[in-house]
Chains A and B, each alone.
Chain A
Amino acid sequence: MKFAVLLLLGSLLACTSADDNSVLIATASSFRPALEVLAPALNDKCNTNIQISSGSTGALITQIRQGAPFDLLISADQNLSKSLANSPTNNYRLDAAFARSPMAYWQPKASAKKLTIAIANPKTAPFGRAAMQVIGQTKPDLITAANAGQAFVFVHTKAANAGYVPLPLLIAAKIPNTEFELIAEDTYSPIFLHNVRLKRNLTLDCLSDQLNALQTITMLAGFGYLPP
């Protein structure tokens, strides 16, 4: 039974202390690289410690509906966010969009192999729906990723030889602009980023203000984001 005692001690020692000042942000995967760059400045300005969890907006909203303890959602799907915020059983607050995210078609190099195109899941990710709008009636071989970030990884690891991905992910990964082309914005529904405050406190008010601040918008332009 010595091992049992060791297990108990280990369990107790492994307990990590919670940081009361931390804010847990659930973000659409396409915004994660930009948020990681923004986080230190946001931490300083709002006197907080941002922790990030990312996924497709649809999956994150499902988790929130099931009780996930996020403080702020940065969503890329306005309709889903509205339905979340309008639910009468909660006290969520949907803020105005702070950026618009362009989409690009990325094909690292022409391939003699059959073209397989990675897209985010159209049922849960706005970039997936946008990709389907662009693809239209054509029937290419599609590889459906859980979210836009995973669609990007599929092309990056050559699991797919092309993909419809958010422009900010290409810029963040320093992909040469000879490998991708921007998709005309009138061919798909625009993808706006906005935040939903899931709790009410001054830190979240501060973060919301900072995301809409001119300085943030300027920084986001470096990632390819456009004003809303």
Chain B
Amino acid sequence: MSMEILSPIITSLQLAFVTTLILLFAGVPLAFGLSRMRGFKRALLESLIAIPLVLPPTVLGFYLLLLLGANGPFAPLELVFSFPGLVIGSVLFSLPFMIRPVQTAFEAIPNSLFEAGASMGAGSLQRFLLLALPLARNGIWSGMILSFAHTIGEFGVVLMIGGNIPDKTRVVSIAIFDAVERLDYTEAHILSASLVVFSFIAMVLVSWASRDRKSP
């Protein structure tokens, strides 16, 4: 397989790995916090996190470009058109895909279990690590797989803040766009077919992770 095809696949996998990893460590505690929250504050925070579900990716990309670009407040960090910049965009854009299933899984845990844990002397950290996390593992798996798959398929945000730089920001979706512009339909077919197969596998895994393990 040529580097023209392999390089964007590697970049996409790298981006999805790093994004999912960050979302795992930041998103799971956030989802747990949200599941314990009530009232207006929760509605506000949930809406804020869910915005990328309905917002065109180019909008997020545009504002990130203004923030991270040469004239923005974070210009000295040189994040735009770089891999770390892509990670920031991907984490923000994939955040609801991690939070939603994990939060739902936490909410399904009966409160009585936490009360029992507390009565046996478990602190809040222990209740989170030893009760909540194991019981929400299916939701966490779903969140991780969805975040990973969503990052692999990202286009708009990447195009806005990453451009099309070989070996750095040219991910699979951009490489497909690029290959079509070059009339290289073979490369476009190979990359597109690999995404179709990957997406199907991801959905099967989500379905598997979300299954009720207690049912026969």
Binding site for B on A (CB under 8 A): 3-4, 7-8, 10-11, 14-16, 18-19, 24, 29, 32-33, 51-55, 63, 65-69, 147, 149-150, 152-153, 156, 173
Contacts and interface: CB of A to CB of B under 8 A. Distances in A.
Given A11-B21, A14-B10, A14-B13, A54 B167 contact: no
Nearest to B181: A149
Interface in B1-56: 7, 10-11, 13-14, 17-18, 20-21, 24-25
B165 interface: yes
B98 to A, nearest CB: 13
B14 A15 contact: yes
B20 A7 contact: yes
B88 to A, nearest CB: 14
Interface string B129-172: 00000000000010010000000000000000001111110100
20 contacts: A7-B17, A7-B20, A8-B17, A14-B10, A16-B10, A16-B167, A19-B167, A32-B182, A53-B170, A54-B164, A54-B182, A63-B81, A66-B65, A66-B69, A66-B81, A67-B78, A68-B165, A69-B82, A69-B165, A152-B183
When A and B form their complex, which 9 residue pairs have the shortest distance between CB atoms, in order from nearest? A14-B14, A66-B69, A11-B17, A67-B70, A68-B81, A51-B166, A149-B181, A10-B17, A7-B21
Interface of B: 7, 10-11, 13-14, 17-18, 20-21, 24-25, 65, 69-71, 75, 78, 80-82, 141, 144, 163-168, 170, 178, 180-183
A8 B163 contact: no
A118 B169 CA distance: 29
B21 A4 contact: yes
Contacts of B11: 16
